[in-house]
């Protein structure tokens, strides 16, 4: 998997965990959900964030290395 594809996948995982946590919070506050309904997405969110930061750092380093060597053809396309 390319660095850019990995960062995009990690962004999706982080967004999914955040959305799950945010959607379960009101139910927990009114008593419909239990602790585990918040703890699971919170755990996923807190593990996705460092993974995403690491992926972004690796991608930035890869792009810097490619740019300094002059081989810009191998840079990932940014959208």
pLDDT of residue 66: 83
CA-based angle 25:26:29, to the nearest 5?
Answer: 90
Residue 77, pLDDT > 90, answer: no
* CA–CA distance, 29 with 23 (Å, rounded to integer): 11
Q: Is residue 76 part of a domain?
A: no
Residue 37 lies in a domain: yes
Q: Is 79 inside any structural domain?
A: no
d(CA 5, CA 56): 11
pLDDT tens across 28-75, in order?
A: 999 999 999 999 999 999 999 999 999 999 999 888 888 888 765 555
Confidence bin at 2 (pLDDT 50/70/90)? confident
Q: Are 38 and 21 in contact (CB under 8 A)?
A: yes
Question: Considering the entire predicted model, what is its pTM?
Answer: 0.78
SS3 content of the chain, % helix, strand, coil (to 5): 85, 0, 15
Establish if 29 belongs to a structural domain.
yes
Within-domain flag for 77: no
- Structural domain total, the chain: 1
Residue range 17-30: mean pLDDT, rounded? 95
pLDDT at residue number 5: 93
Domain assignment of residue 59, yes or no: yes
Residue 78 lies in a domain: no
């Amino acid at each position: 998997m390319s660095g850019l594809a990995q960062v995009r996948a990690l962004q999706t995982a982080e967004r999914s965990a955040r959305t799950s946590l945010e959607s379960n919070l009101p139910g927990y506050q009114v008593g419909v959900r239990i602790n585990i309904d918040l703890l699971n997405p919170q755990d996923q969110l807190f593990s996705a964030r460092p993974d995403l930061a690491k992926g972004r750092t690796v991608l930035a380093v890869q792009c810097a290395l490619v740019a300094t060597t002059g081989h810009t053809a191998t840079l990932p396309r940014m959208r």
